[in-house]
Amino acid sequence: MGDERQEYTVTFLPTGRTSRVRAGTELLKAARKAGLHVNASCGGAGVCGKCRVVVEQGRVLGGKSEKIPAASYEQGYRQACSARVCEDVSVRIPEESSRRGGLGTAVPQRNHARRHVFDMEELKQEGGWFPSVEKVCIELSPPAGHDNRADAGRLLQGLSAQYNRKCELKSLVFLRKLGKALRRDNFQATATLEVPVNQGARYRLLDIQPGYQCHRNFGLAFDIGTTTVYGVLIDLETGKFLAEASCYNPQMSYGEDVISRIIHAEKPEGLDVMQNLVIEAMNRLITEMLAKVQTPTALPDRLSGRMLDRLDQLPVARDEINSVSIAGNTTMTHLLLHLDPSSIRRAPYVPTSTFFPSFRAREIGLDLSDTCASLVYPSISSYVGGDIVAGVMASGMYRSEQLTLFIDVGTNAEIVIGNRDWLACAACSAGPAFEGGGITHGIRAVEGAISDFSLNPETLEPMNITEGGKAPIGICGSGLLIIVATLFEHGVLNQSGKFNPLDHPRIRKGRSGQEYVLAWQDECAADHDIVINEVDIENFIRAKGAIFAGITTVLQQVGLQVSDLERIILAGGFGSYIDLDSAMSVGLLPEVDPDKILYLGNGSLAGSWMCELSNHIRRDVVEAVRKMTGFELSEVPGFKDQYMASMFLPHTDLGLFPGIAQRVRENKKE
């Protein structure tokens, strides 16, 4: 198959549309990318036999099936769902696979958000690269008769004279190491300093090592998710990423959501168990990352410019990790720090604290040096946690002039709206629809999950695209969004999310109201037809309605409108793969120029990471949190109305969605 990174051009006839795809891409996906609909319900299993195309020039790999007679195969017929690109190729979409005889049907391009790229070089240029811990090599004059200052005073004065670092010494642990560390290499030593968050404040002495070790400075960033724990190991002297690791949050065995975790934590020793589980997971990840990485080579001392001996490529040692930044939602943070979470789940939903003092990593049981400093992101409220604050910090919206909507969709959706002058936030009880919850055939984005879809508007035949090109087994969140949007745009669904009375074999009455059959049982890897029904759609609308109502309610509270939004930043797994046009069609996202939408990825991890690289973040977060007004939506009078108005596709007020209103009108005319 050649180099998989190689890209080739696929030309589709008769339209002449082309797409550039990587070697190995199925022709079906290449067509989708070219904006062409090809009937296909089995998702690539090759059993429906509907997606036949003819290769007219060039070669493809595979694409054979029993639905293609040998003679047709010889003529170049292939199943688009299983034929893979291996060179430039021209392919004709025959009439029966398409909409109007021989013309590939145009379908909307999928519009994913641009990735918000974290640019280390830019950070450095802006002076933002400023780790919270630094190491400096210091050369002190040894004590003599006329100069018998104590070790500590000598060091403090040396740091002031040689590096202009005014330091404070608050740790007995440090003092205990000092005498021997200074004397081993004749008063040449390396000090580890915690950089003050506020300008003019004193540096804090964390650690002291004999000799020159100032390029050995490492940090960890963690995202403690309800489902997954992610860690990243970073070289704080270069800013380089060294290793990452992740695992399920082992608290999962006590329930998937935060409420079940809290209930368990309220039992005798329950909080101990919860804390231990996550700490053990973090310790395992640390060990895994340390095993993965070899040390970078020796470097000049960043502060003195002194060139240091090139050291052997030793692995990073556990006690060379000097700093840990952690972000998680409010409950995860409480469990991590062994804080009583019980009032989080009871009205009026009060956490023990929304800010957390810095501490030694050892204090909570992390298997790191006893001088390693640790910081946990502050929260806003019980349901807008440090993960969201971290995302806001990583997104930079707190220092932008642009009015930005930050949105992190998971089981709940949290939204933050604002700019450098003010920030407002809320948690929306979206429910688990976007993760497949409450949807008859909803699943996570595993192999066989329908994740993309289009509809032949003539025949209402589907084009199902599945994860991994496998026979469909269900619908994942991004697929659900596109399916609902597509069915609505083509008049299959009305504005209330109900099926219009159409006479079609795929539209029928099921156990939960009317339903559309996406794939028949014999095209599936399931023992039933895969459908989407009115109850599914209602649940979906509830979820998207909660989010949109949250957005409009918060905007209303601050006297603004959806049209004022200048930028949208999507965080969380869901944000990476949602189709923006569909999201606007159904009224999940406000209608804006898709170029204004950015995808941040795991905002919580990005925020912790930033916190390791840039001490400015630690200063700014205090200010950002102070600025951030949290709204408890259920307590805001106008919310219920907004929610009711959002329980439509896309909304009762089509004036909010002029583009979609236009498209729906056009589709109706056709």
State the greatest distance between any 2 C-alpha atoms of the chain, in Å, as a whole number. Answer: 103
Cα separation, 348 vs 666, whole angstroms: 48
Look at strands 567-571 and 597-601 and give their pairing.
parallel
Neighbours of 8 (CB within 10 A): 19
Token code pair at residue 619: 């200063």
Q: How far is the CB of 593 from its own copies (least distance, A)?
A: 37
Q: Which residue lies nearer to its own copies by CB, 561 or 634?
A: 634
Identify which of residues 101 and 145 has a Cβ nearer to its own copies in the complex: 145
**Minimum distance from CB of 304 to its own copies (Å)?**
25
Min dist. Cβ of residue 277 to its own copies (A): 18
Residues 6+ apart with CB under 8 A from 340: 271, 334, 352
The residues near 481 (Cβ < 8 Å, ≥ 6 apart) are 434, 540, 578, 579, 582, 583, 586, 588
- Smallest distance, Å, CB 363 to its own copies? 6
Measured CA angle at 181 (ends 301, 304), to 5 deg: 15
CB distance 107 to 32 below 8 Å: yes
The 3-class SS string of 447-481 reads CCEEEEEEECCCCCCEEEEEHHHCCCCEECHHHHH
Our CB check for its own copies shows the closer of 73 and 355 to be 355
- Site residues for its own copies per CB under 8 A: 143-153, 169-172, 175-176, 178-180, 183, 337-340, 342-343, 347-359, 363-364, 379, 381-382, 632, 635
Q: Which residue's CB is nearer to its own copies, number 327 or number 337?
A: 337
If the CB atoms of residues 133 and 336 are measured against its own copies, the closer one turns out to be: 336
Per DSSP, the residues of 175-193 read HHHHHHHHHHTTTEEEEEE
Amino acid present at 278 = V
Backbone angles phi, psi at 621, to 5 degrees: -65, -30
Report the nearest approach of its own copies to the CB of residue 143 (Å).
4
Instruction: State the nearest-atom distance from the C-beta of 559 to its own copies, in Å.
Output: 20
Question: How many Å apart are CA 494 and CA 23, to the nearest integer?
Answer: 40
Beta carbon nearer to its own copies, 316 or 428:
428
- Distance in Å, CB of 574 to its own copies, minimum: 27
Torsion of CA 459, 461, 535, 466, to 10 degrees: -160
Q: Which is nearer to its own copies, 178 or 473 (CB)?
A: 178
What is the DSSP code string of 357-377? --EEGGGGT-SS-TT-EEEE-
Residue 132 structure tokens: 């919270």
Residue 329 or 454 with smaller CB distance to its own copies? 329
Q: Which is nearer to its own copies, 324 or 403 (CB)?
A: 324
Tokens describing residue 468: 């991994």
Report the residue number, 379 or 451, with the smaller CB distance to its own copies. 379
User: Least distance to its own copies from the beta carbon of 353, Å?
Assistant: 4
Distance, in Å, from the CA atom of 536 to the CA atom of 296, rounded to the nearest integer, reads 52
Q: What is the DSSP string of 581-623?
A: HHHHHTTSS----GGGEEEEESHHHHHHHHHHHBHHHHHHHHH
Nearer to its own copies, 48 or 337 (CB): 337
Those residues with Cβ within 8 angstroms of residue 641's Cβ, 6 or more apart along the chain or in another chain: none
Classify residue 102 by its DSSP letter: T
Min dist. Cβ of residue 162 to its own copies (A): 19
Say which residues have a Cβ less than 8 Å from residue 269's Cβ, sequence separation at least 6: none
**Closest distance to its own copies from the beta carbon of 623 (Å):** 16
Tokens encoding 647: 């329980």
The 3-state secondary structure of 202-259, one letter per residue: CEEEEEEEECCCCCCCEEEEEEECCCEEEEEEEECCCCCEEEEEEEECHHHHHCCCHH
CA atoms within 13 A on the CB side of 631: 27
State the nearest-atom distance from the C-beta of 174 to its own copies, in Å: 9
To its own copies, the closest distance from the beta carbon of 383 in angstroms equals: 10
| 8 A C-beta contact, residue 233 and residue 218 | yes
Least separation in angstroms between CB 423 and its own copies: 17
- At residue 273, what is the residue type? V
Choose between 180 and 509: whose C-beta lies nearer to its own copies.
180
Going 528 to 529 to 535 to 536, the CA torsion angle's sign is positive
State the nearest-atom distance from the C-beta of 172 to its own copies, in Å.
6
Nearer to its own copies, 265 or 277 (CB): 265
User: Least distance from C-beta 264 to its own copies, angstroms?
Assistant: 16
Six token digits for residue 295: 């040390």
With respect to its own copies, which residue has the nearer C-beta, 351 or 469?
351
Q: Would you say 349 or 520 has its CB closer to its own copies?
A: 349
Closer residue to its own copies (CB): 185 or 632: 632
Rounded to a whole number of angstroms, the minimum distance from the CB of residue 355 to its own copies is 7
